[in-house]
Structures are given as structure tokens and as C-alpha cells.
Amino acid sequence: MAYMTQKDLANTEVDCVRARQIADGVHSVQDAIAQAESHYGRKAESVTLLAATKTRDVGEIMAALKAGVRVIGENRPQEIVAKAEILRAEAAREGLSVGVNGEIPLYLIGQLQSNKINKVLPLANGIQSVDGIELAQKISARAQNLGLCVDVMLEVNVSGEATKSGCAPERAIDEAFAISSLPALNLHGFMTLGARVDDEKIVRSGFAKLREIRDCVSEQLAQDHDGNSAKLELSMGMSGDFAWAIAEGSTMVRIGSAIFGPRAFV
């Protein structure tokens, strides 16, 4: 993560040209989401746009918020720590509240190591990248100690690609039920990354698999709670495949480069 020494992530300045580029990106993505909702028979505004802000500084994130973004996702715990408090202060100046108890939630959407849990929990509304019960149990214990209730999503590796994290689809239902019973956690839904291929049928089949898992778990939880359990979210779809994800039932798409442009760092 050399970029964290090469780029000041806490920088709050953004020039008007860059701010306009980001605003145009946000509006373009919002239009594309609306078109996909219409094309695939989804209800208007049923899909939430999450801005994936890996390597983006506070000024760039603020430009996205001013353009209408209302959910933020960070890939790395270190970036949440570097940005969260400054971002919260900058947002407050604009009459916006970001992070825990705020109207604009901040999620961790990348891998979480055990030694970073305590640093992330007070700053993030939820963690979308919980890969199984073992990590969930650690988060639950830390959340209890901090007096917090944390939204978590179970990350499922629907493509089976070795480079991707997440639990195997055949284990996902059991893992989800186990997580849903842990104290201080709220099972908020499921997350996945689409297959890294340019084949609509293959990518959509993975997304469809996760929707089926979600529907199965939602149905059972509703029965267990007399129909009072909240609908579980489906966080799937990124800049290159979000329309296909919307076609298969995604309720939240995680968009980075289509908003902010190509990353200068990885």
C-alpha cells in the first residue's frame, strides 16, 4: 500500500475541474442504474449506489457526496482510520452526517484482519466482507465489548476463483444462519464479486446463485421471526458488471472507477 505514503488521503482540497469530473461520474452512474432498473423490470430506486473510495482522498469523496452519493465503501481498514474523522467533520460543514449513526453509512467492503477489528468498528456502520463464522464471532465479541451493534454481510465466492475471498456457496446458507444468531451483529445481507470474465451468462449465473441463497435465508429468517425480519440486501455489481447484477436482483452496487476515473494506485 505504497500509495498511503505517496498520497495524502486526509486531503480535503479538490479543484473545480476534478469536482466536476466526479459529479459527472456520479450522475452518469445514477442514470445507468435507473436505465438498468427500467430495462430489467426492477422497481425505480430499488438499487443503492455505494461509492467505492479506495485510494480516494477526503476531498474527492466530498465531491461525490455533494453530487448525491449516500453510501460509501472503503476496501482497507487503514483507509477508514486515515479518513473517517476528517470526512465526518468535512461532511458536517455541508450539513451531512457520515459514519456511525449518520445518514450516510460507511462500510468496509474489503478484507478485515482480526487485529484491525477494534479500529474499524467505532468508525464503520458495517462490514460487507465477512467470509464466515470465525471472523463473525471475533467481530461479535469485539462489538459487545464496545457496546455496538454491527451490520455485517456474508461474502460468498460465487465464481470459485482462487484469487477471491468469501465462503463457498454450498456453505453460505449454514454460515448465514450461524452469523444471524450471534450477539451484537445484524445479518444485513450478502456480498460477492462477479466472475472476472466478459461473458454475461457466466457472470449473471453467479449473481443469480447468490440471489437464490439470499432468498432461502430470508424466507427461513422470516419464518423464525414471525415475518418481522428485514429483507436481506444483495451487494453485488461493480463498474464493469453492475447492470448484469441489477438484472439478477442486486440491491446495492459498489462503483469506484466509473465515478472517480481510473485509480493512480492499486
Give the DSSP letter of residue 232: P
User: Residue 217: which pLDDT band, with cuts at 50, 70 and 90?
Assistant: very high
Residue with cell 426492477: 42
- Report the C-alpha gap between 242 and 227 in whole angstroms: 30
Q: Which three cell numbers stand for residue 227?
A: 415475518
pLDDT of residue 222: 87
- Report the C-alpha gap between 156 and 214 in whole angstroms: 11
Q: What is the pLDDT of residues 224-261, one digit of tens each?
A: 876 656 789 999 999 999 999 999 999 999 999 999 99
Residue 142, amino acid? R
Helix (H) or strand (E) holding 68: none
Q: Of the given ranges (33-37, 106-110, 198-202, 226-230), which has the lowest mean pLDDT?
A: 226-230
Q: What is the pLDDT of residues 22-57, one digit of tens each?
A: 999 999 999 999 999 999 999 999 999 999 999 999
Q: What is the pLDDT of residues 12-24, one digit of tens each?
A: 999 999 999 999 9
Query: What is the three-class DSSP state of 73?
Result: strand
Q: Which three cell numbers stand for residue 243?
A: 447492470
- Report the C-alpha gap between 21 and 218 in whole angstroms: 39
Residue with cell 449513526: 101
pLDDT of residue 227: 62
Q: What is the largest CA-CA distance in the chain?
A: 53
Residue 243, amino acid? A
pLDDT of residue 166: 96
Number of H helices, E strands in the chain: 10, 8
pLDDT at 90 over 70: yes
The answer to whether residues 135 and 128 touch, using CB atoms and an 8 Å cutoff, is no
pLDDT of residue 229: 62
CA separation (Å) from 222 to 182, 227, 232?
Answer: 17, 4, 10
Percent above pLDDT 70 for the chain: 96
pLDDT of residue 266: 67
The 10 Å Cβ neighbour count of residue 86 is 18
pLDDT at 78 over 80: yes
The answer to whether residues 147 and 136 touch, using CB atoms and an 8 Å cutoff, is no
Give 143-178 as a DSSP string.
HHHHT--EEEEEEB-TT--TTS-SB-HHHHHHHHHH
Residue 151, amino acid? D
pLDDT of residue 11: 96
The answer to whether residues 242 and 192 touch, using CB atoms and an 8 Å cutoff, is no
Q: What is the mean pLDDT of residues 104-117?
A: 96
pLDDT at 2 over 70: no
- Report the C-alpha gap between 229 and 120 in whole angstroms: 26
- Report the C-alpha gap between 186 and 195 in whole angstroms: 27
pLDDT of residue 29: 98
User: Residue 181: which pLDDT band, with cuts at 50, 70 and 90?
Assistant: very high
pLDDT of residue 223: 85
Give the DSSP letter of residue 98: B
Total residue length of the chain: 266
